[in-house]
């Protein structure tokens, strides 16, 4: 049976989310997750967060905020697999497997690593002064995130395309080393754009980013924080009544991200006709709040009930591990990390050895009569019975000998085999009674 297309989305847990994250990633990803032909995976990349942040309080707060944001924005945990990266132990194990097959030369070319090296060199320091192993192998952990669930598509921004290519390299190298060409372990993931507006401009026209302090908050601070941020959007000095250039400020681009095509046209025309910047900013705040305002109460509720978040994420981890655990078992076998003896097989063998018993064999002679004989564990024939007119009569004696042992043997119509003593037979018959005990 052909499985559904798998799409995987992750987000780093080092801060709070803003309008740019919502427009560029969250909103389109949630819309796509409602496609019945798609199997969606969403995760909090909290292991990745440790690369940049060593503040436990900030990490914990961010994980809660981001989980609550996804759910408040409409992510349905019953229809997707929503989990924390750190709750899936198979992911770091797969990361190590990839560490052992990927080349250092490839990782040397990673953009984040090169940027850190260039910055340290420019400052006259050792090139690797600011490079942790986490930063260096970040693309490997990302490859494990993607390939652990064999995602077919990964919505990524332009700055992440190189990491996706490295994930494809990891998949190819592992497949070539450990599996047959007609049955690879890993698929080749493809990059997809998360939104037609991948990068939303910030208050100053640059990319909206917390590092530039130019963001519009999504839920934190409520409507007051939203209004305060929008008030800081850079515009020119033209007064109300004077024609404005709609493209002279990031305000128009942000408005377009929340408006219908007809509303976008009307807004541009209003600016050209002299709409004041203050009124334009109020219209933008109203437009954004009309969409995210109803979500804000759900966000606040989740943030005040972390146990609800925890239950949802634990349920998601169980769904994820139902896939990752058996897959990792296959991968461990492939690389040679096998148990020396299967515990179940060893236990069964011991059980069988303990219960090894003599065997009663019943058979029919050519003249139509019935006999039985007792054969020891080593194959020695201990005795053979006289002939019986019916198999039922022979069977009755077998049952009685198993149950009563030596007490019935004295009366049994049997003849001992050559060199066999009565004591040898009684010992053999005693084994049946011990087994019952």
Residue that finishes a domain, picked among 277, 298, 319: 298
Same domain, 175 and 266: no
Query: CATH number for the domain including 278?
Result: 1.10.240.10
* Range(s) of the domain holding residue 66: 5-197+305-335
- What per-residue confidence (pLDDT) applies to 43? 97
Pair (37, 102) in one structural domain: yes
47 and 179 share a domain? yes
Structural domain includes residue 205: no
Q: Are residues 69 and 126 in the same domain?
A: yes
Indicate whether 343 belongs to any domain. Answer: no
Q: Are residues 320 and 379 in the same domain?
A: no
For residue 437, being part of any structural domain is answered with: no
Predicted pLDDT at 196 = 52
Same domain, 48 and 87: yes
Residue 357: the pLDDT is: 80
Q: What is the pLDDT of residue 247?
A: 93
Tell which residue, 253, 195, 153, has the closest CA to residue 31.
195
**Contact (CB, 8 A) for 96 and 54:** no
H or E element, residue 393: helix 391-404
Would you say 287 and 255 are in contact if contact means Cβ atoms under 8 Å apart? Answer: yes
268/251 Cα distance (integer angstroms): 11
The angle, 0 to 180 degrees and rounded to 10, between the axes of the packed helices 306-335 and 161-178 is 40
Give pLDDT, residue 243.
96
For position 376, what pLDDT does the model report?
87
Q: What is the CATH number of the domain that holds 73?
A: 3.40.50.620
Both 88 and 112 in one domain: the answer is yes
DSSP string, 227-273: HHHHTT----SPPTTS---GGGSHHHHHHHTTS-HHHHHHHHHHHHT
Could you tell me if 259 and 365 lie in one domain? no
User: Is position 349 within any domain?
Assistant: no
Count up the domains in the chain and report the number: 3
For the chain, which ranges sit under pLDDT 70?
1, 193-198, 341-356, 433-437
Query: Which residues are paired to 41 by β-bridges?
Result: 8, 81
CATH code of residue 401: 3.30.160.160
**152 and 31 within one domain:** yes
- The answer to whether residue 348 sits within a structural domain is no
Whether 289 and 310 map to the same domain: the answer is no
Task: Report yes or no on 202 lying in a domain.
Answer: no
pLDDT digits (tens, 9 = 90+) for 344-401: 665 555 555 445 688 999 888 888 899 999 998 878 889 999 999 988 899 899 999 9
Are 81 and 96 contained in the same domain? yes
In a domain, 216, yes or no: yes
Domain match, 20 and 156 both: yes
Per-residue tokens: 167: 């994930």
Q: Tell me whether residue 228 is in a domain.
A: yes
């Amino acid at each position: 049976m052909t499985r559904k297309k798998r799409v995987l989305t992750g987000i780093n847990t080092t801060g709070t989310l803003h309008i740019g994250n919502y427009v560029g990633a969250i909103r389109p990803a949630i819309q796509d997750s409602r496609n019945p032909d798609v199997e969606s995976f969403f995760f909090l990349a909290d292991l990745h967060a440790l690369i940049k942040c060593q503040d436990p309080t900030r990490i914990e707060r961010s994980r809660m905020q981001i989980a609550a944001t996804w759910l408040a924005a409409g992510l349905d945990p019953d229809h997707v697999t929503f989990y924390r990266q750190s709750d899936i132990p198979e992911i770091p194990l797969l990361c190590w497997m990839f560490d052992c097959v990927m080349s250092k030369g490839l990782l040397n070319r990673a953009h984040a690593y090169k940027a850190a090296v260039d910055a340290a060199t420019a400052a006259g320091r050792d090139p690797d002064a600011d490079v942790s192993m986490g930063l260096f192998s970040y693309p490997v952990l990302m490859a494990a995130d993607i390939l652990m669930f064999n995602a077919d598509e990964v919505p990524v921004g332009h700055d992440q395309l190189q990491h996706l290519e490295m994930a494809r390299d990891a998949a190819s190298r592992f497949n070539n080393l450990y599996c047959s060409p007609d049955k690879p372990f890993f698929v080749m993931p493809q990059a997809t754009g998360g939104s037609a507006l991948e990068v939303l401009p910030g208050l100053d026209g640059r990319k909206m980013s917390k590092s530039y302090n130019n963001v519009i908050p999504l839920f934190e601070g409520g409507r007051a924080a939203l209004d305060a941020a929008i008030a800081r959007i850079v515009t020119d000095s033209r007064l109300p009544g004077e024609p404005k250039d709609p493209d002279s400020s990031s305000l128009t681009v942000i408005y377009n991200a929340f408006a219908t095509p007809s509303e976008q046209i009307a807004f541009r025309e209003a600016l050209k006709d002299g709409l004041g910047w203050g009124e334009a900013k109020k219209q933008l705040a109203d437009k954004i709040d009309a969409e995210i305002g109803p979500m804000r109460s759900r966000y606040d509720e989740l943030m005040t009930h972390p146990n609800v978040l925890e239950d949802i994420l634990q349920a998601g981890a169980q769904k994820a591990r139902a896939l990752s655990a058996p897959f990792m078992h296959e991968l461990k076998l492939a690389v040679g990390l096998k148990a020396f003896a299967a515990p179940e097989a060893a236990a069964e063998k011991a059980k069988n050895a303990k219960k090894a018993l003599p065997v009663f064999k019943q058979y029919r002679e050519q003249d139509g009569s019935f006999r039985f004989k007792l054969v020891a564990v080593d194959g020695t024939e201990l005795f053979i019975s006289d002939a019986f007119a019916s198999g039922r009569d022979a069977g009755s004696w077998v049952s009685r000998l198993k149950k009563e042992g030596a007490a019935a043997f004295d009366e049994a119509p049997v003849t001992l085999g050559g060199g066999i003593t009565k004591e040898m037979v009684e010992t053999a018959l005693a084994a049946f009674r011990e087994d019952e005990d």
